[in-house]
A and B are shown apart, each in its own frame.
Chain A
Amino acid sequence: MHIIDRRLNPGGKSLENRQRFLRRAKALVQGAVKKTSQDRDIRDVLEGGEVSIPLDGMDEPRLRKEGGTRDMVLPGNKKFVEGDILPRSGEGSGRKSAPGQGDSEDAFRFVLTKEEFVNLFLDDLELPDLAKRKFAEAESEGLQRAGYATSGSPANISISRTVTRALARRVALRRPRPQEIAELEAELEEETDEGRRAELLAKIEALKAKAKRIPFIDPIDIRYRRFETVPKPIAQAVMFCLMDVSGSMSEHMKDLAKRFYMLLYVFLTRRYRHVEIVFIRHTDRAEEVDEQTFFYGPASGGTLVSSALQCMHDIVRSRFSPSDWNIYAAQASDGDNATSDSENVARILTSNILPVSQFFAYLEVGESGTYSFEMPDSALWSLYERLRAGGAPLSMRKVRDRSEIFPVFHDLFQRRKTQERAAS
């Protein structure tokens, strides 16, 4: 008999079959993913989870019989005698339809991993054209390991490599080990015979001389880690979240904005290795804050959108050089702005912000209950509309309800069709 421990075998034996299944069911699963994501919290959405798809197209048909006269033998008779007639709806009719057979119309439920879920969720989205162009062009120098060299800076000495080589050399040249000498010396101490002593002494001397001739570490052993510079595309992005926090913004509106920001964040993290977030909130003056304060900190005052834009511009100038960073900005507001501020907003936006940003989205949030097309154009909306008509690459949407966030997001990043292309 053999006992074999299979527990250490590589797992994921079914992974390929699973991928085949997902590929085959892609359209269905994608639909299901979108549907599930609508009534879930954003945090949960991206955790993956259970989806259910209709079995249509995924079934494995078999030739099977149904109906007709049935005979069955059952256990547990209590009171029946031969010839009894049992009413059909009552007990004893047996629930004969075997589970898993008759339910071909039913939905098929299974669990997607986080990775699979996000992949499917964002599968048909892409960065806007403008961003892609820049993304492809912009390159920076990066360092990459490229083996070992015989020369280099001391900081780059590869100790393990050096020691290994030294050891090999010492063995090859038969350098006497200290232990060997120590043994001979001990023998010398105890030895009384003069002739033997002289012999030992000579031997020790010879060994010591040899050890001196063959150094422990020779300069030829030393190896340095070598690096090469390689061009690397910029793999970092910064995402600016701008939000109006004046008194007119309700909790509901902030919630909508937050959902949008999180989606954008997830989307960006899938495209860039490193994504920074900058939160800027503003009333009539703007400040950079942390996430907690951004969403939950109390604030009140008037509304000056230009202050936030100015703030963003300053931060970009001081910390995020556009040549190194892909800059994304999303602004959420209920649309209120001081009329006198329009000029400033237009100026900062068109001359300072839009030229360096890959993408600028404006999200106008409103109270739930009414439909977004019923929202009257606000001051800010009309201003941006005007800028857009003038050729500024702005994306803007109105959102009223939680369930609209996903469609709007999808809409914004959909593989480009027509209208926005003209603008960007």
Chain B
Amino acid sequence: MSELLFEGADWNFSTLQRIHDTCETIARGELGLDTYANQIEVITAEQMLDAYSSVGMPLFYKHWSFGKHFAFHEASYRKGLMGLAYEIVINSSPCISYLMEENTATMQTLVIAHAAFGHNHFFKNNYLFKQWTDADGILDYLEFARGYVVQCEERHGRVAVEHTLDAAHALMSHGVDRYPGKKKLDLREEEKRAGKRRLYEEAAFNDLWRTVPSGPTKTRAVLNVERRRVLLGLPQENLLYFLEKTAPRLAPWQRELIRIVRHIAQYFYPQGQTKVMNEGTATYVHYRIMNRLHQEGRLTDGNFLEFLQSHTNVVFQPEFDDPRFSGFNPYALGFAMMQDIERIVTEPTAEDREWFPDIAGSGDAMAVLRDVWANYRDESFVSQFLSPHLMRRLRLFHLHDDPAERAGIRVDAIHDERGYRRIRRELSRQYDVGYIDPNIEVIDVDLAGDRRLMLRHTVVKGAQLNETDAKRVLQHLADLWTYDVSLTEVDAATDKVLKEYVLNPRIQPAAA
């Protein structure tokens, strides 16, 4: 038995240090986690509200919308409608975790285990974060962004900057690259490749090929269209990128502002795709660490009960007919799946062996989990690892709601042999960003005519855009593009045009 980490609810900085060090030993030794260095910051409730309104980041450029969120959060916090989070953690290196000063010592332990080790490990190892975010650079970049916005306001006026940022924010959800871009061409490599290709052609030369008829020759018009599309990089689904690179009349500082918003959107892109996994990882890690601490006698039974109480609150999943139900709780689903994987790895049933031949009974739960945490996102995670056992436990069922169906909503699948795969497919689809976000692309620009920017929304399963919002966003887009913008909603299955929007830019300053 080693000595207690703390007694009662009070803590001070040496307590925090002790907690951190103890958690670190468990996290590195027993769980094999690999984390960024930690930076723990103690903040007040007011500072927590500040952080809320700037999307959790410690510094951000100034914009009225953050003030609006602040006013909103403050109002609901004051009325007691909303509790504040115990912590906020930032994907940066060193990894910054904010802890609320009101937390008891037990809660600080929980939060350090959860954020400073669970989230931290996930940020550092998950492929999406590795691919899309630069943890070392983000704080410097935000610093730069804030300074740049201030500079622009001084030079070009607050109103002009605000207009640009408003427009960029409206398009933020369509300002991310969804696929890793083409690698930059390396000229020397290129030369080698061309040489190899020539050698191959010489080796494989056969005059017969010359006589094989090729496809119909392309007309000049078709060639022109193709050339234009290549030049503009069409089709393009990253609207902000497209504007930044090709909008004809933007000032350089406007392009830079758009770029800033785009980079920030990209930075947050992985977070939206890994809510279940991220929270599941952190919850699983804190659960393991807290249990170990208790077993080693470093937490009193009372403190452990306090932990269990808040842990249970966090992973509570109301059922669909519960008034508290508002979708899946990512903590609950994530934690349940992580535990389920542990079970499959250590004590598999025959069913598990059939469903998960790779991992069932392999024995080392942490190795499997670390691999899962590194290589999956919510959508692939659910479609790979949601087990029949868990589906039965959660009593999942699938509803299909077709507005055309008069009789009502059909129960399409339930947690039985026939339904497992369908439920799993549907649930994983609910987490697929490619499926949740409307699929909108720039398809063409009328360069020969009125320079109209043409967008296309591919409508899946009849879900069209909300009209008021779509008009407002397109108005912003037209203002940046400075010529007409059109958007057609086309049904994916039938290619039928469902709706068409055309918006003209509001009057631009004469200087442009």
User: Could you tell me the distance between the alpha carbons of A71 and B71 in the complex, rounded to whole angstroms?
Assistant: 35
Q: Which of A63, A75, A111 contacts B328 (CB 8 A)?
A: A75
A59 to chain B: which residues have CB within 8 Å?
Answer: 472
Q: A24-B64, A61-B473, A74-B320 are in contact. Are A13 and B17 (CB under 8 A)?
A: no
Binds A, one of B193-201, B291-299, B426-434: B426-434
Q: Which residues 163-186 in B have Cβ within 8 Å of A in the complex? A: 166, 169-174
A69 in contact with B408 (CB, 8 Å): no
B430 to chain A: which residues have CB within 8 Å?
Answer: 72-73
Q: Which of B72, B75, B78, B321 contacts A76 (CB 8 A)?
A: B321
A3 in contact with B101 (CB, 8 Å): no
A17 to chain B: which residues have CB within 8 Å?
Answer: 53-54, 62-64, 66-67, 70
A71 in contact with B50 (CB, 8 Å): no
User: Could you tell me the distance between the alpha carbons of A110 and B72 in the complex, rounded to whole angstroms?
Assistant: 6
Residue interface mask B46-82, A partner, CB < 8 A = 1: 1101100110000000111111101110110010000
A80 interfacial by beta-carbon distance below 8 Å? yes
A87 to chain B: which residues have CB within 8 Å?
Answer: 407-408
Q: Which residues 42-77 in A have Cβ within 8 Å of B in the complex? A: 50, 58-77
Q: Which residues 438-488 in B have Cβ within 8 Å of A in the complex? A: 438, 440, 459-466, 468-470, 472-473, 476
B403 interfacial by beta-carbon distance below 8 Å? yes
Binds A, one of B339-347, B412-420, B502-510: B412-420
A71 in contact with B399 (CB, 8 Å): yes
Q: Which of A5, A58, A86 contacts B399 (CB 8 A)?
A: A86
B155 interfacial by beta-carbon distance below 8 Å? no
B400 in contact with A86 (CB, 8 Å): no
Q: Which of B47, B396, B465 contacts A11 (CB 8 A)?
A: B47
A82 in contact with B13 (CB, 8 Å): no
B46 to chain A: which residues have CB within 8 Å?
Answer: 11
A82 in contact with B416 (CB, 8 Å): yes
In the complex, the chain A residue whose C-beta lies closest to that of B476 is A61
B418 to chain A: which residues have CB within 8 Å?
Answer: 82
B238 interfacial by beta-carbon distance below 8 Å? no
User: Could you tell me the distance between the alpha carbons of A9 and B78 in the complex, rounded to whole angstroms?
Assistant: 22
User: Could you tell me the distance between the alpha carbons of A71 and B402 in the complex, rounded to whole angstroms?
Assistant: 9
B395 interfacial by beta-carbon distance below 8 Å? yes
A80 in contact with B397 (CB, 8 Å): yes
B411 in contact with A2 (CB, 8 Å): no
Q: Which of A21, A61, A86 contacts B64 (CB 8 A)?
A: A21
Min Cβ gap B50→A in Å is 4
Min Cβ gap B419→A in Å is 6
A18 in contact with B67 (CB, 8 Å): yes
B427 to chain A: which residues have CB within 8 Å?
Answer: 73
Count contacts on A: residues with CB < 8 A to the other chain: 65
In the complex, the chain A residue whose C-beta lies closest to that of B61 is A17
B136 interfacial by beta-carbon distance below 8 Å? no
B398 interfacial by beta-carbon distance below 8 Å? yes
A71 in contact with B400 (CB, 8 Å): yes
User: Could you tell me the distance between the alpha carbons of A98 and B461 in the complex, rounded to whole angstroms?
Assistant: 19
Q: A9-B47, A68-B463 are in contact. Are A18 and B71 (CB under 8 A)?
A: yes
Q: Which of B16, B462, B466 contacts A64 (CB 8 A)?
A: B466
B426 in contact with A77 (CB, 8 Å): no
B74 to chain A: which residues have CB within 8 Å?
Answer: 110-111
B317 in contact with A75 (CB, 8 Å): yes
B174 in contact with A63 (CB, 8 Å): yes
B414 in contact with A92 (CB, 8 Å): no
B41 interfacial by beta-carbon distance below 8 Å? yes
Q: A4-B42, A7-B42 are in contact. Are A68 and B70 (CB under 8 A)?
A: no
B410 interfacial by beta-carbon distance below 8 Å? yes
A61 in contact with B401 (CB, 8 Å): no
A94 to chain B: which residues have CB within 8 Å?
Answer: 320, 399, 401
B151 interfacial by beta-carbon distance below 8 Å? no
Min Cβ gap A204→B in Å is 53
Residue interface mask B277-291, A partner, CB < 8 A = 1: 000000000000000
Residue interface mask B213-242, A partner, CB < 8 A = 1: 000000000000000000000000000000
Min Cβ gap A317→B in Å is 51
Min Cβ gap A321→B in Å is 47
A20 in contact with B320 (CB, 8 Å): no
A104 interfacial by beta-carbon distance below 8 Å? yes
User: Could you tell me the distance between the alpha carbons of A58 and B162 in the complex, rounded to whole angstroms?
Assistant: 13
Q: Which residues 65-104 in B have Cβ within 8 Å of A in the complex? A: 65-68, 70-72, 74-75, 78, 94, 98, 101
A91 interfacial by beta-carbon distance below 8 Å? yes
Residue interface mask B130-166, A partner, CB < 8 A = 1: 0000000000000000000000000000000000001
A146 to chain B: which residues have CB within 8 Å?
Answer: none
Q: Which residues 291-350 in B have Cβ within 8 Å of A in the complex? A: 317-322, 325-328
Q: A5-B13, A18-B71, A66-B464 are in contact. Are A72 and B399 (CB under 8 A)?
A: yes
Q: Which residues 229-261 in A have Cβ within 8 Å of B in the complex? A: none
Binds A, one of B32-40, B267-275, B352-360: B32-40
Min Cβ gap B78→A in Å is 6
User: Could you tell me the distance between the alpha carbons of A64 and B37 in the complex, rounded to whole angstroms?
Assistant: 38
A417 interfacial by beta-carbon distance below 8 Å? no
Q: Which of A13, A76, A104 contacts B394 (CB 8 A)?
A: A76
B173 in contact with A62 (CB, 8 Å): yes
A66 to chain B: which residues have CB within 8 Å?
Answer: 463-466
Min Cβ gap B478→A in Å is 13
Min Cβ gap B378→A in Å is 13
User: Could you tell me the distance between the alpha carbons of A68 and B40 in the complex, rounded to whole angstroms?
Assistant: 46
B375 interfacial by beta-carbon distance below 8 Å? no
B43 in contact with A104 (CB, 8 Å): no
B67 in contact with A68 (CB, 8 Å): no
User: Could you tell me the distance between the alpha carbons of A81 and B68 in the complex, rounded to whole angstroms?
Assistant: 46
B423 interfacial by beta-carbon distance below 8 Å? yes
A7 in contact with B101 (CB, 8 Å): yes
B409 interfacial by beta-carbon distance below 8 Å? yes
User: Could you tell me the distance between the alpha carbons of A5 and B427 in the complex, rounded to whole angstroms?
Assistant: 42
B395 in contact with A1 (CB, 8 Å): no
B21 to chain A: which residues have CB within 8 Å?
Answer: 1
State the 6 A-B residue pairs at the shortest beta-carbon distance, nearest first: A76-B319, A21-B67, A68-B463, A68-B462, A17-B67, A110-B71
Known contacts A3-B13, A6-B42, A14-B49, then 9 further A-B pairs from the complex at CB < 8 Å, ordered by chain A residue: A2-B40, A14-B67, A17-B63, A60-B65, A61-B472, A66-B465, A71-B426, A94-B399, A104-B469
Q: List 30 A-B contacts (CB under 8 A).
A: A1-B40, A2-B94, A3-B20, A3-B40, A4-B42, A6-B42, A11-B47, A13-B47, A17-B62, A17-B63, A20-B67, A21-B71, A62-B469, A63-B438, A64-B465, A64-B469, A69-B400, A70-B463, A72-B399, A73-B396, A73-B427, A74-B320, A75-B394, A75-B395, A78-B395, A82-B412, A82-B413, A86-B399, A91-B321, A95-B325
